[in-house]
Structures are given as structure tokens and as C-alpha cells.
Amino acid sequence: MRVLQLIKSETLLVYGELLRRKQVLLTYIAYPYIMTFFIIFVGSSVGSLENFEAKVGVNPFLFFIAASFNFLVILGIVDDVLWSPIYDDNIGTLPYVLSSTTPWFLRLLVIPIPRLALTMILGFTSLIPIFTYFEGLEGLLTSSLIMGLGGLAGLLLSTFAILLACSISMLMGESWRLLNIVRPLMMILLGIYYPRVLMPLAVRIISYLLPSSHVVDLMLYTLVSERMPEVLRALTWLGAGTALAVAYGPLSYNSTKSLETKKLREGIKT
Amino acid sequence: MSFPEKVRLFANSAKVVFVSYVKAELLRSKGFFLGLISMATWLAILMLPMTLFRNPETPASIISTYAFVGIAIFQAYSVSTWDWGWELRDSLFRGVLENVIISGSSIFVMYVGIIPMTISWLALSLSITYLMLSALIAPPIIQVTNPALFLLGLFSLMIVLFAYAMILGSTLIASGTSGAVVEFVSWILPIATGGITPLTNLPPTMRLIALLTPFSYPAELFRYSLGLTTLILPEEIMTAVSTAYPTAFLALGYLYFKKQLHKLLKEGVKTVSLW
């Protein structure tokens, strides 16, 4: 019951804010298009769309709209988890969060759930129109699959995001600036805009440790092969991602507890 | 107060602004350096996929040079949007702007103090971009083929961006426009006005739109003086327009700024939210 109440209040908070500030909502919807056109624009001025298609094996418009969708969905789902300890500290709500009977870890774990609906909003406004335009009914199916995988990629990153957010707050000062380095780095390692297969081996190994990178890989495979992935292949990727997300669970729980203990011992600096 | 005294007071105030920024951003926190690393990482997200468009026969250094100039112009726009335009909203949020207004000092004091910081920031961020491109693609080749036009392009780009910052900043303090919209504008503007791609590469309609704005001329001169593109208008016309249009835009920006400031003082602040 407590979890449902938490999800309900988080939902009201997120969508109340989103509907109240329509400019933010509209910008969020416009972002996949902006990112896609920005990259294609600059990319085609230094090369050509044909070169891209020859190298990657997929229409650049489809690739970049899917990549931008993933980028925004994953950030939209986990970004508030990443910022939460710093944000609560800055606005002075951390004492209330820590003194609440609801465990902090549970509160952080619930944050991504209402934001999953963002996947639907963004998918309907970016993926479906572009994919249907280029590929017709088949594109509609592909975009629906990508929407599902995008939501899953965001959700699977939650435990890792909690671990990251709490570890940064725990170990470093000026943590928001550091987080601003770690966030884009994490997005590169996920292989969203630059496929993992093209990365150097050392970088690829780090990328394998991120739960969502396997889901992103599955998505790229679906795009490039232009067909539904085989069951075994899909299960391997999804299994690897889920296993990693679960494995990060105890670590992220411990990191939240350690940060909580540290804050209680040292007091909250404003 | 005599004119020399006014100038001395203005210079002193600008110096105070500059020193406080240096202390806050460079000495007290590591924000400046961490911010640069952060920016380099964000840039890598955008730069890496651009290598996928490359023709295998085109030398990597040419691709890198195009990308460097495009990103340099984008960063100049970015500085204008966030360091100059957004700074007004930020200082309003932090309660600094009302103190500046009450003190009777000019708001431009803040700009004069910030500009050296901005130029250092831009120079450093371009160095990081250069290093990133060298590591990821190939070192960009920067060869100025026409120094006079290069300087004219640089100067008119600064004028245009300063005028744009005045228009954006004064709109932000006098209206309730949110930061998300500004972020949107900061992406669209360089693309739509030919800041990132040579005008010859733009579709005809977009080229026409770009030519109607004052932004396209300095960027095009810039690229031309680096030997990266051919001009779509005769050189004499480009030179004349690149001088006259930015100047007129600056005058318009200043008038608009004064009008919005007057509106702010008369009607009060529309929003206290930063974002």
C-alpha cells in the first residue's frame, strides 16, 4: 500500500508540474526532432546520408529519431533519481526525506515509475510519425517495439542511477558538477548515438556493465536487421540487462544507507 | 557627476563583477574546470555520430575542420544565450539585478565584467573541442586565407550575438518565458540561420530564411575566410551587408532592451522562477 501511495504522489507531482508548465512539455516533445535534425544537418555537411547508411546499415532519420527518443526517455526516467539527493539537499527538503518513515531507497526506486508514461508521450509524437512515414505499417510495429524497449532501458537503469547518485554525493564535493560529467558519459557508454560495436574494446567492456546498454543493443539490432529479433537473442540481451539491474540492487541500497548515515552523522549543510 | 567620474565608476563596477566571477568560478570552486569537462563530454555525444557520415575518400582532417567551425559558431551562440542573455534572468532570480537597478548603475556593468570571463571560457572550450576532435577524428586544419574578412566576420559575429543577447535577456526579464523555451531557441537558431552549415549546403527556402537574418553573414564570412566554402553573394556585397546589418541589429537590440527594461520597472517582474 505504501508503495502505491508513493507512486500516486510521485505521479501527481510529475504530471501536475508537466501540465502546468506546457512550454516544458512542448519542448520535451520537440527535442527528439531537434537532436535528430541537428546531427543530420551537421553530419550531412561533413559527409552524406548515403555514407551513413552504408556504414551503419539503416536510414539516418530512423536511426537518429530512435536514438534521440531513447536518449530523452532514459534521461527522463532516471534523471530525477540522479539529481534527487543533490536537489533535496539544495532546497532544504533532505531533513524531511530522511526523517520520513518511508525508506529513502524506496522513495528513489519509485521515482522512475510514473515517468515511464513519458515513453508513451514521446513515442507517439516522435517515433510513430517518423517510422510510419518511412516504413508504413511495419514502421508502426517497429516504433511500438522501440517504445517498449526504451521504457525498459530507462527502468533497468534505476538501480545503477541510485548507486551513482549516492556514491557521487557520498564521495565528492561539488557533486552536481561532477554529475554533469557522469551523465553524458553514461549516455555515451550506453551506445545510443554511437553504436557500441564501433567503440574501442576497453570502452565496450565498461559499456557491458551498464544494464540498459544491452537493451539499447537489442534495439539497434532490430533497427539494422529490419525484423523482429530472434527469441533467444532477445532473451539473452534482456536477461543480461535485467540481471545487471538486479545485481546493482543491493549495492544501490547500501549506497543510500551509507549516504543517509553520513548525512545524519555530519548534519545537512545548507 | 562628471563624465570621467562616470566612466571610472563604470570601470570599477565592471572590475568588481569580473573579480567576483573569477573568485566564484575559478578559485573558490572547481566549477569552471568541471564545467569544461562536462561540456566536452556532452559535445562528444554529438560529435561521435558525425563521423559516421564521413565519405571514406574525404580526408578526416577536412571533416574535423568543418565540425570544429560548426561547433565553434554553435558555442558562440551558446555563450550569447546563456552567459549574456540568460544571465539577466539568473541575476533577477538571485536578487542581484534589483540591487543593480536600485544602485542606479547600468546593467551593462555586468556584461562588461562578464565578457572577459566569457572570452576565456570560449577559448578554453574551443581548445577542448579541438583536442576532442583530434582524438576522435583528426586534428582540424585552421588556415586563415583572408585575414581581413576573418576579422570582419569575427567582429560582426560578436555584434550580432551581443544584440541577440540583449533582445533575449530583456525578453526574459520582462516576460515569464521559461528556460526550456530558451534552450529550444538556442538549438534552433544556429541551425536555421546558417550558423552551423555553409549556406550553399542549405535547401533554397532555408537559405533564404538564413539570409534574411543578420546571423548568417558573419558565419559565412568566417567559413569563407578559412577556405571552407564559397560565398553565395559577391564578396563586396557580403562585406557591406556584414557591416551594416549587424550594426542596425545592435541599434534595434538596444532600443528593445530599453523598452523592456522600462516595462519591467513599470509593471514589475512576471516570474520569479529561474527555469
CA nearest B50 in A: which residue? A43
Q: Read off the pLDDT of residues A187-246 as tens digits, 9 standing for 90 and up.
A: 889 999 988 888 888 889 999 999 999 999 999 888 888 767 788 888 889 999 999 999
Q: Read off the pLDDT of residues A22-40 as tens digits, 9 standing for 90 and up.
A: 777 888 888 899 889 888 8
Q: What is the pTM of this model?
A: 0.76
Residue A225, Cβ neighbours under 10 Å: how many?
13
Inter-residue contact B159 to B252 (CB < 8 Å): no
* Structure-block grid coordinates of residue A160: 545503477
Residue A107, Cβ neighbours under 10 Å: how many?
18
Task: Tell me the C-alpha to C-alpha distance, in Å, between residue A243 and each of A109, A250, A254, B5, B185.
Answer: 17, 12, 18, 71, 41
Specify the higher pLDDT residue, A5 or B175. A5
Residue B275 within any structural domain of the chain: no
pLDDT score, position A209: 94
Q: What number is the average pLDDT over the span B77-81?
A: 82
Instruction: Provide the number of structural domains found in chain B.
Output: 1
Contact status of A180 with chain B (Cβ, < 8 Å): yes
Instruction: Provide the number of structural domains found in chain A.
Output: 1
Contact status of A90 with chain B (Cβ, < 8 Å): no
pLDDT score, position B40: 73
Confidence of residue B48 (pLDDT cuts 50, 70, 90): confident
Among residues B160, B167, B162, which one has the least CA distance to residue B257?
B167
The question of ipTM being above 0.90 is answered as no
Residues of B with CB under 8 A from a CB of A: 29-31, 34-35, 37-38, 41-42, 44-46, 48-50, 52-56, 58, 62-63, 66-67, 70, 177-178, 180-181, 183-184, 187-188, 191, 196-198, 201
d(CA A42, CA B89): 31
- Comparing CB atoms, the residue among A34, A46, A193 nearest residue B53 is A46
- Comparing CB atoms, the residue among B37, B52, B58 nearest residue A181 is B37
Q: Read off the pLDDT of residues A63-93 as tens digits, 9 standing for 90 and up.
A: 999 999 999 999 988 888 998 888 888 788 8
Residue B45 within any structural domain of the chain: yes
Maximum CA extent, chain B:
67
Record: contact B180-A28, CB cut-off 8 A: yes
What residue numbers bound the domain in which B11 lies?
A: 3-267
d(CA A153, CA B21): 40
Record: contact A27-B66, CB cut-off 8 A: no
Confidence of residue B255 (pLDDT cuts 50, 70, 90): very high
Contact status of A24 with chain B (Cβ, < 8 Å): yes
Residue B143 within any structural domain of the chain: yes
What residue numbers bound the domain in which A12 lies?
A: 2-266
Residue B273 within any structural domain of the chain: no
Inter-residue contact A116 to A77 (CB < 8 Å): yes
Residue B274 within any structural domain of the chain: no
